[in-house]
Chain A
Amino acid sequence: MFRRILAGALALAVPFAAADVQAQEKVLKAVMHADVRVIDPVWTTQTIANIHGALIYDTLFGNDGNQKPQPQMVGKYEISPDRLTYTFTLRDGLKFHDGSPVTTKDVIASLKRWGAKDGVGQRLMGFVTKMEPVDDKTFTMVLREPYGMVLESLGKSQSSIAAIMREKDALTDPQQQVKEAVGSGPYMFAKDQWVPGSKAVYLKNKDYVPRTEAPSSFAGAKIPGVDRIELVWISDPQTTMSALINGEIDFYEQPTNDFLPLLEKARGVKLMKTGKIDSTQGMIRLNHLHPPFDNVKARQAMYYLINQEDFLRTIVGDPKFYRVCKGLLTCGGPYENDGGSELMKEYNPKKALQLLKEAGYKGEPITVLSATDHATITPATQVLVQAMREAGINVDAQSMDWGSVVTRRAKKEPPAQGGWNIFVTTSGGVGSSNPVLHTWIGAACDKGLFGWPCDPEVEKLRNAFGMAATEEERKKIAKELQTRAMEQVVFLPFGQWDTPIAFRGDKIDNVVPNTGLAVLWGITKK
C-alpha cells in the first residue's frame, strides 16, 4: 500500500521537477503595505491601487523628488501668458500594452474620468472650461481662472494619479471600476496571474520608450529594471520581516518600526529612509455634524487630550523615526508653519472635560470607531480612548476591522443610528504638505471628506492658495489657512513619523526614496 502511494507520488513529482526552468527570469518580489484588490487607481483612493496604477499607467506629468512637476508623457507644452490656456503635445513612441498608440482622445477621456472622481481632479476640473484635441498628439486645456496647480495636479503621486487609460476604459462610469488594466506604463499587468489576496504580477513592457532625463521620483526616465515584479501580499508584518531576512522577498515597503533594529542587524538587508517629506501624519477626525462636536468649543477642547509624544511612542517607539508636529501641513515640508499651534500647548484632561461641558456636553456616549487590525491606527486609537477615559468622557469604543471603519465613517447618521463621533486615520506627508492636495484640510461641508467640516473661510483660503502666483504668497496663505483650520479643528494632528524602506541590498539595486509613493519600476536585480 505505502509502496504504491510512494510510487504515485514520485510519478507525479518527476515531470514537475523538470518544469523548474524560469529561474533565469529576473523577478522582484516586493511586499507592499497592502494587497492589490482593486485595479482601478482612479476609482479608489487606496495607495496600493496607486502603486499598481503607477506601474502600468503613465501620466502626463510626473512630480520629481522636489515635488516639481516635470513632463512625462508630454513632450512639450505651452502656457499662455494669462495662464488660462495650456497646450500639451504628447511625446513620440507612446503605446498601450495592447499595441494601440496613445492619442489625445484617450488622454482627454482619462482626464475627464479622473476629474470626476478624484478630489484634486475635481478641483482642477472646477477651473477647466474645455479640453479639446488639436490633433492625435496635441490638445488644449482652457481654464476659467489662472489656477496655479495644473501641472502639480496632473503629476501628483498620492491618492489617485491622473492615469492615462485607453479611451474605451476611460469611458467607464467613474463610480464603477474599469474592467481591464491596460495602460502605457513601464510594466504590464498580468491579470491571469493575479490572485487577489495573495499576489499581483507585472511583466516588463518591452515596448516602453523611456524619457531621456535622469529618473527622479515620478519624473524622468522610467526604465523597467526586471522582467517581472510580483507584489506579494503578506498580512503578517512579522512573517514579512522574517521572509525578508530569509531572502524570500526582496523589498518590504513599510516594516513595522519595532523591527528596524532586527532588520539593521540582518545580513544583506538594507534600510533606506524615505524622502524628506514622505512621512506619515496622524489625524484624529471629529464629526462636525453631530453633538458635541458640531460645536467648535467642544472640538477645541479635544486639543487638551493630545499628547503627541504618547501617541508617537506607542506607535513608533524609537524617537529617531518620529517627530512632534503641531500643525496640519507636513512639518519639514515647504509650507510648514506654526499657525494655530498654540491651541495644542498642553495635555490636560480635566480642562478638556471642563471645556466640553461648557460646550454643552452632558456625558452622552461618544462613539469612537476603533480599528482592530491596523498597524498604526489601532494603537493610536487606543491611546486616544485612554486619554478620553482619563478625562472622564463617556467613550463608546466600537471595535471593527479597518475595512469596516472605512465603510462606517461614510455614514452621516447620528452615532446612535449607525454614525460616529471620532475616528483616527493617517495621511501621507507628501500630500499633506500642500494645502490643495491635502484633502483632509478642506472644509467643504457635505462635499468634503468624512467628518464634513464646514467652513467657507477655509475653502476660500485653499482656493486662494491655488491661485497664488508666487511662493511667498503661497506661504502666507498656507499659514492663514492652517490657523483657520486649526481653530475650526478640521482634524487633530498627533504627530508624524517615518517608515524606512527595507530591502535586500545584496540582491537589488536602484531603490529610491519614496516621494509620496513607492517607485518600483527602476529597481534592478543583481
Chain B
Amino acid sequence: MTSYIVRRLFATLPVMAVVALFVFFLLRFAPGDPAAIIAGDDATAESIAAVRVKLGLDRPMVEQFVVWVGQLLQGDMGVSIFSNLAVTRLIAQRLEPTVALTLSTLFVAVALAVPIGVVAAWKARKLVDRLAMAFAVLGFAMPTFVLAYILIYFFAVQWQLLPVQGYAPIKQGFWPFVESLILPSVALGITYMALIARITRASMLEVLAQDYIRTANSKGLATDRVLLLHALKNAAVPIVTVIGIGIALLISGVVITETVFNIPGLGRLTVDAVLKRDYPVVQGLILVFAGAKVLVNLIIDISYAFLDPRIRY
C-alpha cells in the first residue's frame, strides 16, 4: 500500500508540472499589466516601468518561470500584488472555510443522494423512482445561486432561523459553525445530490440485477439488509468514484456559493485574484486546487481497497 501511494504521488508530478506551466504562461499572456495596477491610480509611465523592474516582470519569461519554480520548491509562493501579504498566508487563512464548506456540502449531498438513489433503484420505474429522480435532476438543473437566494429568503430573512451570510470558524463554537454552513451546504449540496443520486441508482440497478442479490433474496433476508449491505456495498465503487469527481466539481460550485453567502474562502479569493490579475495569488491557488484534486483522487483510489476486497494494491 505504502509503495503504491508513493508511486501514485510520483505519478502526479508531471500533472502538477503541466498545471504550473499552464498557469504561469496563461497569466503572462493575459492582458492587464500588474505593474500598472500596483503603481496606482495616477502612475506615470516611469513609475510603472520601475515597478515592473522591481517585480522582475521585465525579464524574459523563461527566467521568470525558473525563478518562480525555484521559489515554489522552497515553499515560497510569492507576495500578493495588492495586499502585499504572502500568498501562503492568504491561502492558509482561507483554507478552513472552503474545506469546511466542501466537506459539509459533500455530507449533505451524500446523505440525501444515497438514500434517494437506493430507494429509486429499489422501486425502479415506479412513481417513487420517478419522483426521486425528477427531484434529483431538477436539483442539478437549478442554478446554485437561484436556489441559494430562495433558501436565504425563507430560512434567513422570513423565518430568521439561520444566518444570512458569513462563516463562523469552528473555534467560535460548534453550533455557530454548523449554523453558518447549513444553508450554503444545502444550496450547493442539492446540485451534487443529483449527480450522486443518479449514479447510486444506476449502480444499484446494476447490482440488484446480479445473481448474488437473487441469492440474498432466496435466503429470505430482510429488504434493508439486502439493499444496504448486499447491494449498496457492491454498488459503492462507482458511487465513491463519482463522489470524488463531485469534490472536483464542488470547487467550482464553492466559488459561487462563497460569493452568495459571503464566506471568506479560497473560491472568492481566486475570483478576486483572477479578475484583479493578482498573478502570484492565482498561481498559488491553482496549484493548491490541483494538488487537492490529486490528493482526493488518491484517497478515492485507496478507499476502493476498503470497499472491495478484490482490489489490492
Contacts and interface: CB of A to CB of B under 8 A. Distances in A.
Answer yes or no: do A and B interact: yes
Interface of A: 12-14, 16-17, 19-20, 37-39, 43-45, 117, 119, 175-177, 179, 194-199, 232-236, 238-240, 242-243, 245-246, 248, 401, 403-404, 406-407, 410, 449
B164 A179 contact: no
Contacts, number: 115
A179 B84 contact: yes
Interface stretch (B197-205, B239-247, B267-275): B267-275
Interface stretch (B9-17, B133-141, B258-266): B258-266
Contact of B262 (A17, A20, A194, A234): A234
Contacts of A179: 84
Given A177-B84, A242-B152, A199 B170 contact: no
A175 B82 contact: no
Nearest to B44: A175
A159 B33 CA distance: 24
Given A44-B40, A196-B80, A246-B157, A403 B264 contact: no
B49 to A, nearest CB: 11
B41 A17 contact: no
Given A44-B40, A197-B269, A407-B32, A239 B262 contact: yes
A177 B80 CA distance: 12
Given A239-B165, A242-B165, A410-B42, A196 B262 contact: no
B174 interface: yes
B43 interface: yes
B210 interface: no
Interface in B144-159: 149, 152, 156-157
A38 B82 CA distance: 7
B163 interface: yes
Contacts of A45: 41-42
B47 interface: yes
Interface of B: 32-33, 36-37, 39-43, 47, 50-51, 80, 82-85, 90, 93-94, 149, 152, 156-157, 160, 163-166, 170-177, 259-262, 264, 268-269, 272, 275-276
Contacts of B157: 242, 245-246
A175 B40 contact: yes
B264 A16 contact: no
Contacts of B261: 239
Given A242-B156, A410-B41, A197 B272 contact: yes
A179 B80 CA distance: 12
Nearest to A196: B83
Given A175-B43, A245-B157, A195 B94 contact: yes
B114 to A, nearest CB: 12
A117 B41 CA distance: 10
Given A196-B80, A197-B269, A449 B42 contact: yes
B165 A234 contact: yes
A16 B40 contact: no
A198 B172 CA distance: 17
Contacts of A13: 170, 174
B130 to A, nearest CB: 30
Nearest to B32: A407
A401 B110 CA distance: 37
B262 A197 contact: no
A401 B275 contact: yes
Contact of A199 (B33, B82, B173, B264): B264
Given A16-B170, A248-B164, A410-B41, A175 B152 contact: no
Contacts of A177: 84
A230 B156 CA distance: 22
A179 B93 CA distance: 19
Contacts of A404: 32, 275
B174 A406 contact: no
Contacts of A236: 259-260, 262
A238 B172 CA distance: 26
Contact of B170 (A12, A43, A196, A239): A12
Contacts of A19: 171-173
Nearest to B31: A418
B37 to A, nearest CB: 6
Return the 9 tightest CB-CB contacts between A and B, nearest first: A198-B264, A13-B174, A20-B173, A242-B164, A196-B83, A175-B47, A234-B262, A243-B164, A239-B165
A440 to B, nearest CB: 12
Contacts of B93: 195
A232 to B, nearest CB: 8
B279 to A, nearest CB: 14
